Amino acid sequence: DPTNLASHLPLSIGYLPQYAAFHEGVTVREALDFGLSLRMPISVKQQQRQEWLASIVQLTGIDQLLDQSVDTLSGGQKRRLALAEELLGDPQFLFLDELTSGLDPNSELEMMQWLRNLVDQTGKTIVLVTHAVGNLNHCDEVLFLCKGNLLYAGPPRQLINHFGLSTIEELYASAESFEPRPIRDTIAQPIEPAALQTAKPPAGIFQLATLLKRQFLLFARDKGQVFLHLLLLFSFPFLVA
């Protein structure tokens, strides 16, 4: 039950929206360090934390970007960074919204191959919402929806043949003419649930300390804000008087 997981084991579910938000005044390394402090329990020793961070960096292929400022990253690099941040909590389930949208064909292919390798290496379950259909062969199952109605559920290689068409473009053009498929027909035989290896994030007070530290760092690097606050600090008494 996703609701129970979100409330009792929040780190078991990872969600990445189409446009991830970053504080662009930090480096990739700093962004990951802050993300780790917000997700990993405080009881984990520093050496273990750094080893886990190093493994995520290697897994996502961003080791050459660690000292680069976030605001200089390309769109594909930012999405890899966003994925790395979500993987810091080691979620068993990853929900990705339009992760490959807007990427050039080569970047899209690399991202789909990377997601395929991630599933093969870790056994995670990934649900990807996408309109980019050129690399669906890397998926195990495809659900094709039209206006919220399920039209197909099955292997990607059978998607076009199921509708008696020859191209995916034809399917998009004529999707509204097909009858929806009952959801109950797509539900597979339930499997025995397995225990999730996860934990709760740090207590709120520790997360607050991390957020304050990050905010202070961002403020200190914004010379315009520092100058403005100093100007107000010294000029305010004269203005009041």
Nearest CA-CA partner of 163 in 174, 150, 149:
174
* Catalytic residue (choose from 24, 98, 170, 179): 98
Residue 98 falls in the annotated catalytic set: yes
- If residue 151 lies in a helix (H) or strand (E), which one and from where to where? strand 149-154
Taking a C-beta distance cutoff of 8 angstroms, is the pair 108, 88 a contact?
no
Amino acid at 209: A
| Cα–Cα dist 195/32, whole Å | 27
| Cα–Cα dist 152/216, whole Å | 50
| Cα–Cα dist 105/132, whole Å | 9
What is the set of active-site residues? 98
